[in-house]
Structure 1
Amino acid sequence: MQRDTTFGSSYYAPVATAVPGVYAGIGLYDLALLKALAADNAVSAAAEPVKTHVFASQDRVVQREAGFAYDIAMFSKRISSFEYGNGENIKGWWTGMGTGWLYDADQTQYMNGYWATVDMSRLPGTTTDRSGSGTPVPWKDYENVNDYAGGAELDGRYAAVGLDFAASGVTGSSLQAKKSWFLFGDKIVQAGSGIRSTDGVNVETIIENRKLNASGNNLLTVNGVAKPTTLGWSEAMPSVQWAHLAGSVPGADIGYWFPYAPTVYGLRETRSGIWSQINAGNTADTVSNHFLSLASYQGVSPATGAYSQVILPGRSAAQTAAFAANPTVEILERSSAATAARETALGLVGANFWQNAAKTVNVGGTAYLSSDRKASVLTRESGNDLAVSVADPTQTQTGAINIEINRAAVAAVAADAGVTVQQLSPTIKLAVDVAGSAGKSYVARFKYGSTASLGAVADAYVRDGTYANTNYGQTATLTIKNDGVGYARRAFLKFDLGAIAGTIVSARLVLAPSSVGQTTAMTHNAYLASSDSWGETTLSWNNAPAVGSLLGSWSVPAVGSTAQIDVTNQAAAALAGDKLLSIRVEAAANYGANGWVEYAARENGVTTAQPKLVVTYY
């Protein structure tokens, strides 16, 4: 109630009756309830929700953002383009064929005679040949001959939406087009492809058709140049990079950015209409309004027409110009196989796959996203997180849609029922069972790993016999040998995992031999040390921790190579405990007098050769 400024407008104003002082309108009982609610200090107004939702069973999409809302009207074999009956909605032909309704601070935009005066064959968002005339057949289902109408939503905020339409079942024309919307927060990305017609008429996409203020002089700025505000103005404006339309009220400005700088056709006009031409039971009174329309032409009988633009609700002319100079939106593809776009600031990529065939969308010239079936797909990368949403807008598929993303993940942290994660690397692959899904969005979430290379905080080797109390913690090598008394040597290493914040996915010990006594094959073993309470400068054979469980074995590599041992479970256990991991390394057998190996210690002057614990985590 507090936000609605339209009460008392000509649309909602109470209407005088034959009884002096008595008006028809909102009921007195209801009015009393509303006034009491408004006066109740215990009740506070809820904030406007920020949410985007694909209403798959209605072929509708609603986006709500701070300061505006946007509604996409589509049709399919399931939903008629419009409904006509009882003499109501006589000119509704195009209302469901991709119309986009933008609601902002101009709350009366669609009131005060809008429907009686707007050109119903040039509704905003539609790709139109202006066909459709006469009185429709009552209650006829004006269907799309194609099924594709819907999209994938993600995080309740973003969506990739597609409509593959043919006008033949509505107006009878040959016009067909593949239309996409990518709802990227405060940016409404529109792109079309595969636009074709054989009727010998001009096809155009209506970028805007906005009702203006009472004087019709809302300022239109194109590429920084103010256009005439006189009614009746029209112009073909080449190479348009951006445009801006001043709102009728504060907060109703709209910016437009054109990725391919097309020719844009502008028209400022006064239109008159009669309500009974819209609904037969209405009055025969004539009403008038002023409109500003913007359109891009796909030409007469186009074969492969396309368009793209980005709507920027609420932006000033300066803000629109700034966006055009440094856009965060990129159109990745407009073809008969796929339409795709990305938003770099939000890490979003959206794609509509139009065919039941393998298709890959590239980002930056490199393969990024693939699907083998018709699908709407939306991904978002944020830090180490990747989320992907997949939907079947046709609502007809009975098997799985196979998706591949050219990224490597360390873990799948969540997946809706029906999503099977097939692999995490070198690419992510998932199969989405959409049978009976009714257009629902399926979401899976992945983690990219952070990798830390931890140097040992302590290392030393020990020797038996007469050297059993000697400390070798300051040497540059860790000597390993299994031999008679006085000649046996083994090494200990300690790593501190305190810097790891998250869940460990993998951990491996990396040792680099600096010298090897013989070329005959030798095997070394790594064990968990029974204690972490040893010191590098005090460790000896006699006080060394006892041996624990075997962690792994390896064949000693040549100098210049490394030995790598998986210690994931032990590292995870250490992270959950005292954060310290102690490892004991020794030879598996007595390989004779030359059966020794020297691994680089942390004191070794070659940093890359020093022992490391390489940890991947999220």
Structure 2
Amino acid sequence: MEISRRTLVSAFPAAAAVFAGAGPASAGAAAGPGAAAGASPGAHDRLIGNTVAMFAGTAESNARPEVRAKLAAIDAAARSHLTAMDEAGSGELFRGLPLGTSDGNLNSTFRYLWEIALATRVTGGPASDLQGSAAVQQRVLDGLVRVHDTYYGDQSQGYYGNWFHWEIGISSHVSRTLALLADAVAEYDPGLVPLYIASMDAYLRNGKDGDVDLDSRFHTGANLADITTNRMLQGALLGDDARIGKAVADQRTVYATVDPYRPRHGVTDGFYADGSFIQHDSVAYTGSYGTSLLSRVVQTLKVLDGTGHLPDDGLAAVVRTWVADGFAPLIFEGWMMEVVRGRAVSRTTSGYAAVATVVEAVADLSAHTTGADATALRGYVKFLHETSRVAVDPTGFVSPVSIARYADILADASAPPADLNPAARNVAFNAMDRTVHRRPGFAFALARSSDRISKYEYMNGENLMPWFQGDGAHYLYLSGEDQTRVFGVDYYTAVSPYRLAGVTAPAEARRTIPELYGGLWYDNPEHGFTSSSESQNTYVYFPRGTNTFSGGAALGAYGAAGLVQGDDAAWAAHQDGLLPGDFVAYRNARATKSWFMLDEEIVVLAADVGDAAGRAVTTTLDTRIADPSEAVHLTGRLRDGTRWSGTGAAPPAWLRYAAPGRGTAIGYVFLDGPEPAVALGTVTRSRRTVRLTNPDMAVTKQVFSLGVEQAAGAAPVAMAYALVPGASERQLGGYAEGPLSVLANSARLQAVKHSGLRLVAANSFTSGTHRAERLWIDGRASVIWQEADDGTAEIAVSDPTMVRDTVSVTVRGRAREALAADEGVRVRRVPGGTRIDVTTRRAHGRSFTARLR
């Protein structure tokens, strides 16, 4: 039957009982575990007023010249939507958005209504006949009624397509619209608020009894922050303190550092002790869902300000830690690194746009902190402004008030520009299988995967060819470059998915999900595959690997990382007969790899590289793209000192890729292994190749590729090489005399020595004892050892498998004693040397260090 506005309220008697009373004294407002006893008088009006000010600005902020472009954009969007409303056809509220079967169109319809309402609440700034227009507000409210009566209120007809639209997207637009027009709604129809909130509760189908369920896999991380922010606003509209208090309490769970061994409510989404951020249970996602979470929780601080609903217990300090340890390492000259953007890497919105969201949040966060923290945050905002190769566009900020605050920070001489990163930094984000290595002039980002962390994320026609993005793909960012020209969507468009930098891939033609199944997912309800099912997540959207070894150690600003490449979960399940016969799964190639990250170079070792199925295999040492008109210079020398003239019989000692127009270069030093194949050609592809909804725009790029090719049926090989960012030809020629040496390169042990740094680093991949010069390593481990001129030495040890209780390393030679050691590290003398025993149980890949003499 058709459910009308009035009959829907009666269908939710418990909700209707609450809605029957208005204001703070309404039924249930002062009771229940979520009630906020400290709510201040007028808290509901304050919360709504804060929300209006955040989105529409204030008279003071809107008078600022820096805010004019934002206000103009708000006004222009509303006028465009009003025109679309005037031109709507049958079954539409806005032209081009037919309703009834498309959840995306329904979501967009509510968004348009919200954006029209926003323009009517702007005060100050350039004059506009939309500001305060009762007639336009009436049109918005009429639209809300019509859409609810016809396309939204009927629960038996709704909830098709993407759950996100029904539980988060639509509720966000509606809640904000009702808040913006709260006074107009009271005159228009006081029953509209309870009507819509009853519907929004009913559509919260992954929750419990129309509320958040902290045990639901859908109510975690950024998604939970979105839902709870909506419910805070709804509570203010209802005058319901209990609803607000419960939403605040629920959202506070996202601030807690995730303990993977004792997860609260079974949730592994959120920030970890090492700065990692995970969403969807296994996706490294700081640069997309993480930015959304950061934005939302800072908005919560702003919305709850002065209401008495925000406990003063250091939440802002927690978020400040996220910024310093979770976000800052992943931002290079204003660009968010690809390794933490999930499927968003295929979108045309750039890494600079992702960082703009961070900039707004950090600017606002600085107003909720004091002293040195506030100064550091303001200084970081200025640092990002000065170092970004594409200027931050404040027009994209959510709030006009934030734009004014951003301008004030840039003009504030008391907070000089300062990075939150030290100049040299190595960050082992082992909880999300990522590593970042930073030095003045460059940053290196590495994407790994395991049975804990997904190889990639595909979803909804986005990131169509992601298969190898978690198999050691690396991104080398050089200072001074506009990263949109060398990475971003055009990198994935122009570069073959089988030849991403750092990847070992079999030679085969894989097909995308739409090509395989004729839709955006594998649809097989009989076997548990629906759009948002756990099976879809596990085997289609973000499959994990089957390998356990993925991780590494960090010693100060130096790092070691290792990976035993494995198949994804779908292949393993298919081989075990756990998936339907028409499900397509792909087998991976094999490789054991290490990355040793030093001052001038990143040394890469690969062993047992090949394919058990006998396919040809390509290992791509590096891939770079450049615009067609750019000059690209390739030079090199053979081992006998003669100039390299192209691929031939003699392996080169080194090669150099230079883009003189950018003033950047990368050197490649070949320490061991087969001769690399060098290719430089021009490629033209459509951006729609990687995402179905991208514009069908052709991208033409020069693609430089450096790799090792293995023929079908060839025996496994090993190789060792170094990436040297910014290297000159003279510098590359100097590697013939050192300082790098390969101590071991097999599937058992990979180790290098840098004589200039007096450093040895090793990854051991099997049980038994492994020898790397003076280091005798017991079983699987990652170890870095460095000696100082004063006779002291430091060691870092980690368990990349995350399953060992202890890891032991014996340093042969003169016995040493501990000057300092992390908790869990025991140093003792043994015959012939010094033994270091590290308790790694439940350390989740953390590095343990000790200083010896």
Aligned partner letter, 2:417: A
**8 Å contact 1:392–1:434 — kept in the other structure?**
yes
- Select which of 692, 716, 726 maps to 1:280: 692
- Secondary structure in structure 2 of the residue aligned to 1:167: coil
The match for 1:97 is 471
**8 Å contact 2:635–2:656 — kept in the other structure?**
yes
**8 Å contact 1:356–1:372 — kept in the other structure?**
yes
**8 Å contact 1:268–1:291 — kept in the other structure?**
yes
- Select which of 334, 348, 360 maps to 2:771: 360
The match for 1:159 is 559
Quickly say closer, same or farther: Cα 1:101–1:237, change in 2 above 3 A: farther
Cα distance in 2 between the residues matched to 1:162 and 1:302: 24
The match for 1:38 is 410
CA displacement at 1:416 relative to structure 2: 1.4
Quickly say closer, same or farther: Cα 1:316–1:30, change in 2 above 3 A: farther
Q: Note if 1:313 corresponds to 2:313.
A: no
The match for 1:63 is 437
Cα distance in 1 between the residues matched to 2:598 and 2:471: 22
Aligned partner letter, 1:116: T
Cα distance in 1 between the residues matched to 2:630 and 2:614: 34
Cα distance in 2 between the residues matched to 1:206 and 1:167: 18
The match for 1:74 is 448
Cα distance in 2 between the residues matched to 1:439 and 1:246: 37
**8 Å contact 1:13–1:25 — kept in the other structure?**
no
The match for 1:254 is 666
**8 Å contact 2:631–2:660 — kept in the other structure?**
no
- Select which of 712, 725, 730 maps to 1:300: 712
Cα distance in 1 between the residues matched to 2:394 and 2:408: 21
Cα distance in 2 between the residues matched to 1:246 and 1:225: 19
Which stretch of the first structure deviates more once superposed, 384-393 or 236-245? 236-245
Cα distance in 1 between the residues matched to 2:649 and 2:403: 51
**8 Å contact 2:807–2:839 — kept in the other structure?**
yes
Quickly say closer, same or farther: Cα 1:396–1:118, change in 2 above 3 A: same
1:321-340 paired onto structure 2 within 5 Å: 321-322=733-734, 324-340=735-751
The match for 1:183 is 597
Alpha-carbon RMSD: 3.0
Q: Note if 1:194 corresponds to 2:605.
A: no
Bigger RCO (CA 8 Å, 6+ sep): 1
- Secondary structure in structure 2 of the residue aligned to 1:300: coil
1:84-119: CA deviation from partner (whole Å, max 9, x where unpaired):
112111111111100111011223221472222221
Cα distance in 2 between the residues matched to 1:415 and 1:245: 43
1:126-180: CA deviation from partner (whole Å, max 9, x where unpaired):
112244622245533422211000001101x111110001235466225211010
Quickly say closer, same or farther: Cα 1:319–1:416, change in 2 above 3 A: same
Which stretch of the first structure deviates more once superposed, 383-392 or 194-203? 194-203
Aligned partner letter, 1:77: D
Aligned partner letter, 2:688: S
The match for 1:396 is 803
- Select which of 101, 119, 123 maps to 2:500: 123
The match for 2:66 is none
**8 Å contact 2:427–2:435 — kept in the other structure?**
yes
**8 Å contact 1:237–1:266 — kept in the other structure?**
no
CA displacement at 1:3 relative to structure 2: 9.0
CA displacement at 1:275 relative to structure 2: 1.9
Aligned partner letter, 1:338: L
**8 Å contact 2:822–2:850 — kept in the other structure?**
yes
**8 Å contact 1:409–1:446 — kept in the other structure?**
no
- Secondary structure in structure 1 of the residue aligned to 2:659: coil
1:373-426: CA deviation from partner (whole Å, max 9, x where unpaired):
1111111111201111111100112x3222111132342111211112231663
Cα distance in 2 between the residues matched to 1:196 and 1:179: 12
The match for 1:386 is 793
The match for 1:83 is 457
Which stretch of the first structure deviates more once superposed, 330-339 or 312-321? 312-321
Aligned partner letter, 1:197: D
- Secondary structure in structure 2 of the residue aligned to 1:417: coil
The match for 2:428 is 54
- Please, what TM-score do these two structures have when normalized by structure 2? 0.47
CA displacement at 1:13 relative to structure 2: 10
Cα distance in 1 between the residues matched to 2:332 and 2:706: 30
More helix by share: 2
CA displacement at 1:255 relative to structure 2: 0.9
The match for 1:467 is none
1:141-160 paired onto structure 2 within 5 Å: 141-155=542-556, 157-160=557-560
Aligned partner letter, 1:88: E
Cα distance in 2 between the residues matched to 1:328 and 1:394: 30
Cα distance in 1 between the residues matched to 2:427 and 2:751: 19
**8 Å contact 1:198–1:302 — kept in the other structure?**
no
Cα distance in 2 between the residues matched to 1:163 and 1:181: 9
The match for 2:760 is 349
1:602-613 paired onto structure 2 within 5 Å: none
Aligned partner letter, 1:67: G
- Secondary structure in structure 2 of the residue aligned to 1:254: strand
Quickly say closer, same or farther: Cα 1:419–1:23, change in 2 above 3 A: closer
Aligned partner letter, 1:113: D
Cα distance in 1 between the residues matched to 2:352 and 2:566: 41
Give unmatched runs, 5+ long, in structure 1. 15-21, 229-233, 448-618
The match for 2:846 is 440
Quickly say closer, same or farther: Cα 1:316–1:376, change in 2 above 3 A: same
- Select which of 798, 819, 832 maps to 1:413: 819
The match for 1:107 is 482
**8 Å contact 1:411–1:424 — kept in the other structure?**
no
- Secondary structure in structure 1 of the residue aligned to 2:622: strand
Cα distance in 2 between the residues matched to 1:308 and 1:13: 34
Aligned partner letter, 1:243: L
More strand by share: 1
**8 Å contact 1:237–1:264 — kept in the other structure?**
no
- Secondary structure in structure 2 of the residue aligned to 1:79: coil
Quickly say closer, same or farther: Cα 1:79–1:318, change in 2 above 3 A: same
Quickly say closer, same or farther: Cα 1:416–1:425, change in 2 above 3 A: farther
Cα distance in 1 between the residues matched to 2:635 and 2:793: 39
Q: Note if 1:238 corresponds to 2:650.
A: yes
Cα distance in 1 between the residues matched to 2:847 and 2:594: 17
**8 Å contact 1:216–1:291 — kept in the other structure?**
no
Q: Across the two proteins, how many residue pairs are aligned to each other?
A: 426
The match for 1:207 is 621
CA displacement at 1:297 relative to structure 2: 2.6
Cα distance in 1 between the residues matched to 2:693 and 2:511: 17
The match for 2:208 is none
- Secondary structure in structure 1 of the residue aligned to 2:594: strand
Cα distance in 2 between the residues matched to 1:260 and 1:416: 37
The match for 2:634 is 220
Quickly say closer, same or farther: Cα 1:23–1:426, change in 2 above 3 A: closer
1:338-385: CA deviation from partner (whole Å, max 9, x where unpaired):
011111101111111111222222x3xxxx211221111111111201
- Select which of 677, 688, 703 maps to 1:265: 677
Cα distance in 1 between the residues matched to 2:418 and 2:394: 31
Cα distance in 1 between the residues matched to 2:332 and 2:712: 45
